[in-house]
Amino acid sequence: MAASLRPLLLAIISLLMISSLTRSSEGAGIAVYWGQNGYEGSLEGACRSGCYDYVNIAFLISFGSGQTPELNLAGHCIPSPCTFLSPEIEVCQSLGIKVFLSLGGGGSGRPVLSSPDDAREVADYLWNNYLGGQSSSRPLGYAVLDGIDFDIEHGSNLYWDDLARALSGYSTPERKVYLSAAPQCPIPDYYLDAAIKTGLFDYVWVQFYNNPPCQYTSGDPSKLFASWDQWASYTGVNKLFLGLPAASQAAPSGGYIPPEVLINQILPVVQSYPNYGGVMLWSRYWDQNYCQAIRPYVNGDPLTYTTKSVKKSHAVA
């Protein structure tokens, strides 16, 4: 009896291990921005590349102060809604990739909060339209995003801390609302400093590009290292990411680091910090194998996926 059951049990265990194949959430990872170029391929394609652990859908460009929120995904869907993205978002999540909605961006939108109450109203809108709430007009459809990314580069610098607190308040033991921020590397960041200092952001991917005072310049990483050191000990920073352009053309004011330089000179230094979280790339469109080149070195474990063994006891008669 025991011998006859053993092949069946082995098959069951194998199936359990295969079904639990998932991207490791531990250790360092790579984040990318998707949504600002219609030629960058699909969201699902980005996730199936095997390269990214976090994808920021960019951008919700205008909101707050009584404005009608405006989602701009460039050539992917104009105008929104972009409800066809829901199954793609769920594919990403099934691969263990966290998907965020990014607020702001560097374009022509107007992200402005007029008061703490306004911040709470925006949080309520985001919860019901992109996160775990309910609305009849969800711009991305039925999929529930994992969190919200703050990439505030213009508009007002007020009340972003209130928005972070309000969004964090929607977290439950069953489902956390993740928060990320993309400040510029000069300290303090004009727009996000107060928000970051709340300590509520799970990930801070600092933009070490288009900022000559704190970015890599050809052959000289000293300014980058000095800025990284400041950010690593900055109040409220939990997981710290090295934000980089994925091509020199992606950052007109500089900061591009060739893959071999990043691998041999930069990563060994930043990885020595205990809150090192990985690398953020701008953007999926500009990423022409940059991520594939650096992926094995960003995390000490080069494997993209891990098997989580399922421990069960089986009585064999």
Q: For 76, what's the count of Cα atoms within 13 Å in the CB-facing half-sphere?
A: 26
Report how far apart, in Å, the C-alpha atoms of 29 and of each of 9, 13, 148, 205, 303 are: 35, 29, 18, 11, 11
Please answer whether residues 178 and 171 qualify as being in contact, where contact means their C-beta atoms are separated by less than 8 angstroms: no
Q: Are 228 and 272 in contact (CB under 8 A)?
A: no
225 by DSSP, 3-state: which?
A: helix
Quote the CA–CA distance of 64 and 66 in Å, as a whole number. Answer: 5
Q: Is 153 a catalytic residue?
A: yes
Helix and strand element counts for the chain (H, E): 10, 11
Tokens, residue 310: 């399922």
Please, are residues 94 and 86 in contact by the beta-carbon 8 Å criterion? no
Q: Name the β-bridge partners of 184.
A: 207
What are the φ/ψ torsions at residue 235 (nearest 5 degrees)?
A: -55, 125
Contact 150, 195 (CB under 8 A): yes
21-23 vs 305-307, strand pairing mode: antiparallel
DSSP state of 285: T
Q: How far is CA 230 from CA 45, 162, 273, in A?
A: 36, 25, 11
Catalytic residue among 121, 153, 174, 260: 153
Tokens standing for residue 216: 């890599």
Contact 33, 285 (CB under 8 A): no
Active-site residues, by number, are: 153
